[in-house]
Amino acid sequence: MGLLSDPNRRRALTNLLTRLNTPICVLCYLAGVAWFMGLAFEPFTLRTYMSENAMGSTMVEERFPAGERALVTAREFGAHKRKSGAMPVDWLVKTMQSRGLEVYTQSFSRRLPFPDENKERYMVRGTNVYGILRAPRAPRTEALVLSAPCSPDNSNNQAVGLLLGLAQYFRSQIYWAKDIIFLVNEHDLIGMQAWLEAYHHTNITGMDWAPLHGRGGSIQAALSLELSSDVVTSLDLVLEGLNGQLPNLDLANLFYTFCQKQDILCTIQEKLQRSDWDSVSGYSQAVQTMALMVLKQASGRPWGDHGLFLRYHIESATIRGINSFRQYKTDTTTVGRLLEGMFRKLNNLLERLHQSYFFYLLPSLSRFVSIGYYMPAFGFLAVILLLRALDLWVQLGALPSVTEDGVGSRALPLQSSSPSLVSILTPVVISHLTGAALYTLPVLSQELAVQHFPVSETEAVVLTAIAIYTAGLALPHNTHRYSSIAKQGWRVLKLVAVLYLAVLLSCTALINFSLGFILALTLVPVAAFVTPHVPKVLSAVVMVLLAPGCTLLYCVFAFQELQEAPVSLIDGWMLFLSVISQGMLDHALYGSLVYPLLALFIYPCWLILWNILFWK
Amino acid sequence: MANIIAVVCASYGLAQSVCDGEDLAERFFRSDHTNNWAVLVCTSRFWFNYRHVANTLSVYRSVKRLGIPDSHIVLMLADDMACNHRNPKPATVFSHKNMELNVYGDDVEVDYRGYEVTVENFLRVLTGRLPPSTPRSKRLLSDDHSNILIYLTGHGGNGFLKFQDSEEISNVELADAFEQMWQKRRYNELLFIIDTCQGASMYERFYSPNLMALASSQVGEDSLSHQPDLAIGVHLMDRYTFYLLEFLEDIHPASQANMNDLFKVCPKSQCVSTPGHRTDLFQRDPGSVLITDFFGSVRKVEITMETINLTVPGIPLERFGGEPHTETALAYVDQLPVAQIIHQKPKQKDWHPPDGFILGLWTLILLVFFRTYGIKHLKHIF
């Protein structure tokens, strides 16, 4: 007879499963964590290489000459910006027209759900200005975008200046096969979202924008430039976009190739390249870089203006110039040459970048970890949930025989082995209703809160969210009053909860590995060990400490530590509050999915587990 | 006595001249082809395959320079590099960096262009199975006395050649096509040159007679490209064809270089890959096959001052005319002087007659002269 259909063997297997369940779960958890830490170990990573044939091995001699003139333009732009207080639209239109581009403007406006205290804006109204350089001989089917943000204070002037300088230089060349769109967006991400929505004729976020009068073809790639100083010491590449989406790795490879060619210092996560990756300090730097990337990707917010292009399958990255205290400085002409080289290579593309990886982690600019290598780390954690589910299933299957022998009545096993659907659904429904309240109430009730408490709208929203979150902890004392199922019914609920969590986390990890992994790190132990029979107070404390809210708090502290800017407890708490408000704003403004996921699915799941802990 | 010696000397001298004439005649009829054809195919498209088009065009140039006319060349280019939007020098295709040699020129006749370069069209050209509406320029109208040169370049692998990024021709198909050509007596001798990665695999399966094949690399090796141009941003030529072009530049229509020299083109030190060749199906000895038998279309006209009796051997005829003949070496006119194109000398400026200003100046000088010295001197001038 087969292994699984032979009852004796099956009983032996299930006994093995039940006996060894906890050790295997612990082992899997340690294996998952160790696998993740080992990803950054140099012999396990692969060197980056250019996969796209069209952007192949040949180099062009870049000849951009006008770095100084770009700086002069930047100063003019800064002066006009200060004079007009907002974006100097007329000056920009005139300058772009004098450089031979087709110039158009787009106005947009948006009222945020509650004021943004980080950027100090509530009613946003602005104008985007963009100029299109038409390809001299090609049909207008494809386009490339170079964008620079117009920041309200004195930053990013040099970026706009360099953009205009490059526009003038590019206009005099005849080898462009795609239209190049030079975009200056106001109010950084909000302006960019308005422009992209208008360009692609979609309206996802409910923003109010004027339609675009001029259009290029379908955008193949986009680069966003942030440059705030005349000379830079290093260029930082920012890849993480909305919902943790990353551009094709070929774009990062392209940037790195040109950094090496122009001899510019290039960084990722603002950490320098080094030559001794296999030493201990090298390994720790690689782990820090990778952890920073994981944290940034998990937050689901776009970390540069490029982040919103990714949703439209446009590969994009942000290049940020950093001026720190270093002896070797790079001037604007060299940065311009780097951009010229990148654009010439992108010009040679015949189809969208698709040859290299879309899912990867970068421990450094020259090394990468692809999805095939990092997914097993999450797989180990998901296996724990499945083992627990199997264990519960076995226990549920074994129960009727026990009670039958013990009680000897026909009616009871039926009742205890299959509690009614309603009684299982009750905690589930109530948890999800709490989650829905967490999602909708903070924004809706901000006016009410402002009337009754001396707080600003943002604080009201955030504090309401935390209040609802904490109120959920009191639920078990209410729910189990409605349940009339026997003591063993918690097993079914836990089975449902564990499987639900497994599905949730797996789906999250497929789209945004970092978010799935971080949530799994804290939620899987909770889901695995919680039963009504563990010591209540200790487990309650542990569960609260491993709840999604506290996970967010730890992530904030870890992020600050990794960026070498550690914060004190109070500052960390304020940062935590601002992170919550940013998360809600990102969801409302750009469609980031982290906040809905946490509020509507992860938090109810945790509440169900909390219910199980307090089962009576 | 002296008479006998004189007669013997005379007869010896005349016999020698007869033998020279026979040698000349021997050389005259060394190869039994009467016309030359060339089929030059570039199978790759896209801008980064610029070098394949440049390869084909440089072989085209050499073949035209050595005498094969456009009506006897079937040129198939899969993409238009000269008018590609990314070409910073439109209407040119360069083969040497720093833009020394424009192989596109202004008299290129492309017979199959763009998407017309397919495996089916290539095989139809070779076997002659074209629809009746096909124009003459797209046909290979060879007969059983034609020597055909076939040159293929592109991306290839072990046993196949990629056409247009979407289909392939295998070495078996090619061998069968050549067998069809042999059975239909569409060629006298055929020289097959291929410049792709693992090119030697393409001629492994040939089984028809009178085929000679050359390839730029062996199975398992890649053919490498030669030099990038930093202004255009692509590699301009492949190594094997680059050195082949250099070798062919030295060949002129009367050159006596033979196939053994061609086999030595691009040794491993220059090409990095090992070029290969196959001559077992060829009936003549490669050492006796001239390069111009395939690459050129040599008019079978040799100017000689001797008369040769082709019917009865050994009977000397009188020399016609009595004046001594200058034994100047007679040569063919250089049909396409490439050297002059590369190193152009400045043209001599024509002499212009003096324009109005100078005429007026001279008139003024004359008037001043006669005014000063009196009009009576005028009659001395005229």
Q: Pick the residue with more confidence: A344 or A489?
A: A344
Question: What is the mean pLDDT of the segment spanning A419-437?
Answer: 85
Pair of tokens at residue B302? 């040799």
Q: Determine the 3-state secondary structure of A317 from DSSP.
A: strand
C-alpha to C-alpha distance for A160 and A147, rounded to whole angstroms: 8
* pLDDT tens-digit map of A254-263: 999 999 999 9
Q: For the beta carbon of residue B58, count every other beta carbon within 10 angstroms.
A: 26
Indicate whether A247 and A267 sit together in one domain: yes
Interface of chain A toward chain B, CB-CB under 8 angstroms: 53-54, 56, 58-61, 135-138, 173-177, 344, 347-348, 350
Tell me which chain B residues have a C-beta less than 8 angstroms from the C-beta of A138: 85
For residue A311, being part of any structural domain is answered with yes
Of the candidates B46, B230, B233, the beta carbon closest to that of A350 is on B46
Indicate whether A91 and A10 sit together in one domain: no
A59 and B228: CB-CB below 8 Å? Answer: yes
Question: What is the mean pLDDT of the segment spanning B257-280?
Answer: 89
Indicate whether A19 and A145 sit together in one domain: no
Tell me which chain B residues have a C-beta less than 8 angstroms from the C-beta of A54: 46-48
Conformational region of residue A49, where left means phi above 0, alpha means psi within -120 to 50, and beta covers everything else = beta
* pLDDT tens-digit map of B245-256: 989 988 888 788
CB A516 within 8 A of CB A505: yes
The overall pTM is greater than 0.95: no
Q: How far is B49 from chain A (nearest CA, A)?
A: 9
Q: Determine the 3-state secondary structure of B105 from DSSP.
A: coil
Q: For the beta carbon of residue A85, count every other beta carbon within 10 angstroms.
A: 8
Strands A102-116 and A208-209 come out as: antiparallel
Cross-strand partners of A493: none
Please provide the size of chain B in residues. 382
Residue B42: pLDDT above 60? yes
C-alpha to C-alpha distance for A183 and A150, rounded to whole angstroms: 10
- Residue A410: what pLDDT? 45
Closest alpha carbon to B78 in B39, B121, B28, B41: B41
Q: Pick the residue with more confidence: A126 or A400?
A: A126
Helix intervals (H) in A39-55: none
Confidence of residue B4 (pLDDT cuts 50, 70, 90): low
Residue B322: pLDDT above 50? no
Indicate whether A217 and A343 sit together in one domain: yes
Does residue B343 carry a catalytic annotation?
no
Of the candidates A60, A174, A177, the beta carbon closest to that of B230 is on A60
For residue A160, being part of any structural domain is answered with yes
Q: Pick the residue with more confidence: A230 or B373?
A: A230
- Helix count (H) and strand count (E) of chain A? 21, 12
Cross-strand partners of A369: A361
Q: Determine the 3-state secondary structure of A476 from DSSP.
A: helix
Angle at alpha carbon of residue A527, lines to A525 and A533, rounded to 5° = 100
A138-156: burial string, b at 16+ Cβ within 10 Å, e else: beeebbbbbbbbbbbeeeb
Interface of chain B toward chain A, CB-CB under 8 angstroms: 46-48, 83-88, 90, 228, 230-235
Rg of chain B on CA atoms, in Å: 29
Nearest chain A residue (CA) to B234: A58
> Mutation test of the interface with chain B: which of A51, A52, A55, A58, choosing the one with the most B Cβ atoms within 10 A?
A58
Pair of tokens at residue B200? 């030697």
For residue A28, being part of any structural domain is answered with yes
Question: What is the mean pLDDT of the segment spanning A125-134?
Answer: 95
How far is Cα of residue A243 from the mean position of the Cα atoms in its chain?
4
Nearest chain A residue (CA) to B226: A58
Of the candidates B83, B88, B230, the beta carbon closest to that of A175 is on B88
C-alpha to C-alpha distance for B157 and A571, rounded to whole angstroms: 63
Q: Pick the residue with more confidence: A499 or A396?
A: A499
For residue A609, being part of any structural domain is answered with yes
A177 and B85: CB-CB below 8 Å? Answer: yes
For residue A46, being part of any structural domain is answered with no
Q: How far is A138 from chain B (nearest CA, A)?
A: 6
Of the candidates A56, A177, A344, the beta carbon closest to that of B48 is on A56
Number of domains in chain A: 2
What share of chain B has pLDDT > 90, as a percent? 43
Q: How far is B298 from chain A (nearest CA, A)?
A: 40
C-alpha to C-alpha distance for A291 and A288, rounded to whole angstroms: 5
Indicate whether A167 and A295 sit together in one domain: yes
DSSP code for B157: E
For residue A415, being part of any structural domain is answered with no
Tell me which chain B residues have a C-beta less than 8 angstroms from the C-beta of A135: 85
Of the candidates B83, B87, B233, the beta carbon closest to that of A58 is on B233
> Mutation test of the interface with chain A: which of B85, B162, B222, B236, choosing the one with the most A Cβ atoms within 10 A?
B85
Burial of B221 per CB tally in 10 Å (0-12, 13-18, 19+): buried
- Residue A532: what pLDDT? 84
Confidence of residue B19 (pLDDT cuts 50, 70, 90): low
Tell me which chain A residues have a C-beta less than 8 angstroms from the C-beta of B47: 54, 348, 350
- Residue A279: what pLDDT? 84
Q: For the beta carbon of residue A373, count every other beta carbon within 10 angstroms.
A: 17
DSSP A507-534: HHHHH-HHHHHHHHHHHHHHHHH--TTS
Residue A597: pLDDT above 50? yes
Residue B308, C-beta contacts closer than 8 angstroms, at least 6 positions apart = B18, B21, B22, B24, B25
Of the candidates B48, B88, B235, the beta carbon closest to that of A54 is on B48
A174 and B90: CB-CB below 8 Å? Answer: yes
Q: For the beta carbon of residue A26, count every other beta carbon within 10 angstroms.
A: 14
Residue A68: pLDDT above 60? yes
A60 and B86: CB-CB below 8 Å? Answer: no
Tell me which chain B residues have a C-beta less than 8 angstroms from the C-beta of A257: none
A54 and B46: CB-CB below 8 Å? Answer: yes
Indicate whether A474 and A396 sit together in one domain: yes
Question: What is the mean pLDDT of the segment spanning A554-567?
Answer: 91
Closest alpha carbon to B36 in B285, B282, B292: B292
Helix intervals (H) in B141-300: 171-183, 239-249, 259-263, 268-271, 292-295
Backbone φ and ψ for B221, nearest 5 degrees, come out as: -110, 155
Indicate whether A16 and A64 sit together in one domain: no
Indicate whether A447 and A590 sit together in one domain: yes
For residue A571, being part of any structural domain is answered with yes
Q: How far is A368 from chain B (nearest CA, A)?
A: 27
Report the range of poorest mean pLDDT among A427-441, B185-199, B284-298.
Answer: B284-298
For residue A45, being part of any structural domain is answered with no
Tell me which chain A residues have a C-beta less than 8 angstroms from the C-beta of B90: 137, 174
Nearest chain A residue (CA) to B50: A54
Confidence of residue B76 (pLDDT cuts 50, 70, 90): very high
Confidence of residue A416 (pLDDT cuts 50, 70, 90): very low
A348 and B48: CB-CB below 8 Å? Answer: yes
> Mutation test of the interface with chain B: which of A57, A62, A175, A254, choosing the one with the most B Cβ atoms within 10 A?
A175
Cross-strand partners of B89: none
- Residue B7: what pLDDT? 59
Closest alpha carbon to A183 in A111, A60, A96, A108: A96
* pLDDT tens-digit map of A599-609: 999 999 999 99
Q: What's chain B's average pLDDT? A: 83
Residue A408: pLDDT above 70? no
Does residue B380 carry a catalytic annotation?
no
CB A508 within 8 A of CB A516: yes
Residue A402: pLDDT above 50? no
B77-94: burial string, b at 16+ Cβ within 10 Å, e else: bbbebbebbbbebeebbb
Backbone φ and ψ for A162, nearest 5 degrees, come out as: -65, -35
- Residue A133: what pLDDT? 96
CB A371 within 8 A of CB A360: yes
Residue B70: pLDDT above 80? yes
Residue A605, C-beta contacts closer than 8 angstroms, at least 6 positions apart = A431, A497, A500, A501, A504, A523
Confidence of residue B269 (pLDDT cuts 50, 70, 90): confident
Q: How far is B80 from chain A (nearest CA, A)?
A: 14
Indicate whether A227 and A319 sit together in one domain: yes
C-alpha to C-alpha distance for A235 and A264, rounded to whole angstroms: 7
Nearest chain A residue (CA) to B48: A54
* pLDDT tens-digit map of A71-125: 999 999 999 999 998 899 999 999 999 999 999 999 999 999 988 888 888 999 9
| Domain boundaries, position A497 | 2-38+374-406+420-613
Confidence of residue A614 (pLDDT cuts 50, 70, 90): confident
Confidence of residue A153 (pLDDT cuts 50, 70, 90): confident
Indicate whether A456 and A570 sit together in one domain: yes
Tell me which chain A residues have a C-beta less than 8 angstroms from the C-beta of B238: none
CB A258 within 8 A of CB A266: no
Residue A297: pLDDT above 60? yes
Helix intervals (H) in chain B: 2-28, 50-65, 119-127, 171-183, 239-249, 259-263, 268-271, 292-295, 338-342, 356-373, 378-381
C-alpha to C-alpha distance for A261 and A277, rounded to whole angstroms: 21
In the block, tokens 């033979």 appear at B258
Indicate whether A227 and A97 sit together in one domain: yes
Across the A/B interface, how many CB contacts are shorter than 8 Å?
44
Nearest chain A residue (CA) to B230: A60
CATH of residue A114's domain is: 3.40.630.10
Q: What's chain A's average pLDDT? A: 89
C-alpha to C-alpha distance for B114 and B112, rounded to whole angstroms: 7
CB A295 within 8 A of CB A590: no
Nearest chain A residue (CA) to B82: A175
**Which is the catalytic residue, given B42, B197, B266, B271?**
B197
C-alpha to C-alpha distance for A571 and A578, rounded to whole angstroms: 11
Indicate whether A66 and A7 sit together in one domain: no
- Residue A599: what pLDDT? 94
C-alpha to C-alpha distance for B149 and B176, rounded to whole angstroms: 17
What share of chain A has pLDDT > 90, as a percent? 66
- What are the E-state strand segments in A371-479? none
* pLDDT tens-digit map of A168-227: 999 999 999 999 999 999 998 999 999 999 999 999 888 999 999 999 989 999 999 999
